[in-house]
Amino acid sequence: MKYFLSFYFFIVSTLLYAQSSQVKVTLKNDVVVVGELVEFDPLDHVTFKVAGKETTVPMTNVKSVETDGLVNNGNIVSVETNKNVFPIGQVGYYEITDKKDYPDSYSFTIDGQTIKMKLVRGGSFNMGYDGDGSLGMKSEPIHQVNISSYYISETCINEKTANSLLGKEKFKDRYYAGIWKNANLVVEKIANQVQKPYRLLTEAEWEYASLMPFADDIFGVDKYAEWCSDFFAEYTPSIQTNPKGPVTGNKHVVRSYRMGKNKWDRRLSHLSGFTGDNLTQAFFRVAISADAIK
């Protein structure tokens, strides 16, 4: 029986490799990745390409591997790929589509702080969360967002840099937490000094980055609340491209990677006691369109 199972899994792996180029990998944290299948060993790993880059994921981190007509664990299914609209309700479902030749990372220095920027390749994803606690976070409905490639700073702006640019005492070498107006002003001053269109992340960019395989390296293990550029608003079900939020409002979006419901938490934007930008302090990062760097 042991040898039969080994032979069976070998046949399934070979069929997956030979018959299909598209694969949908659902990780145990419910993030879903669509890419090009390279190799599949149901007892060990799955290897796929996304935007030309090869990634290997151990099966211990995988919930399911689906491709045209086949799925791991010997269950035969029928799966459609490359849909124009993603399946509604699949939290974290994303597909990277931009394969342009951008550098993976670069750095620049502002007022003594070296800021390393990480490429986030554009694509489409299901934004939002409809699970436990979603009504309190106002994270429904889940909706498709198409997003262009951009760079995100791997760390938040530190206090010395922020206060120096704001004309204040520099204080300690730690991340700066302030009201939205000051965070946005610091980013504007950074953009003016280096002559590049740096800005705060949009909420869609923030959430998209939080789904990437490198998210833990970017957002870390601390419970940071971070500013986005958007005014806060409830989601709509329509498909959107590079959304920037409403034109006006009295409070901006705050997102946090490890507070509340992990990466989908946005409650600080509207809960009692956090009713306006002047009552909320948060950390912040810088972002820039990839086309502005290429």
* Per-residue pLDDT reduced to its tens digit, 176-195: 999 999 999 999 999 999 99
Q: For residue 254, what are the β-bridge partners?
A: 227
Q: What is the layout of strands, in order, in the sheet containing 105-110? A: 105-110, 113-120, 150-153, 287-289
Contacts of 288 (CB under 8 A, 6+ apart): 117, 150, 151, 196, 197, 198, 199
Confidence check: pLDDT of 89 > 70 = no
Contacts of 30 (CB under 8 A, 6+ apart): 63, 90, 91, 92
CB 260 within 8 A of CB 267: yes
Q: What pTM was estimated for this model as a whole?
A: 0.73
Q: Model confidence over 105-158: pLDDT tens digits? A: 999 999 888 999 999 999 999 999 887 778 888 888 989 999 999 999 999 999
**Pairing label, strands 143-147, 123-127:** antiparallel
**Pairing label, strands 150-153, 225-231:** unpaired
Confidence check: pLDDT of 4 > 80 = no
Confidence check: pLDDT of 163 > 70 = yes
Locate 239 and state its tokens.
């498909």
What DSSP letter does each residue of the chain carry, written as one string? -HHHHHHHHHHHHHHHHHH-SEEEEEETTS-EEEEEEEEEETTTEEEEEETTEEEEEEGGGEEEEEETTEEGGG-------S-SSPPTT-TTEEEE-------SEEEEEETTEEEEEEEE--EEEEE---STTHHHHT--S-EEEEE--EEEESSPPBHHHHHHHTTS----SSB--B-HHHHHHHHHHHHHHHTS--BPPPHHHHHHHHHSTTHHHHH-SS--EEEEEEEP----SS-EES----S--S-EEEEESSSSSGGGB-GGGTSTT--SGGG--BB---EEEGGGT-
Q: What is the mean pLDDT of residues 74-91?
A: 43
Q: What is the mean pLDDT of the chain?
A: 79
Q: Model confidence over 250-294: pLDDT tens digits? A: 889 999 887 665 677 787 766 545 556 666 789 999 999 999 997
Considering only CA atoms, give the Rg of the chain: 21
Within a 10 A sphere around the Cβ of 289, how many other Cβ atoms? 18
Angle (CA) 281-287-291 rounded to 5° is 165
Lowest mean pLDDT among 19-23, 155-159, 210-214, 263-267: 19-23
Locate 158 and state its tokens.
């530190």
Per-residue model confidence (pLDDT) at position 33: 82
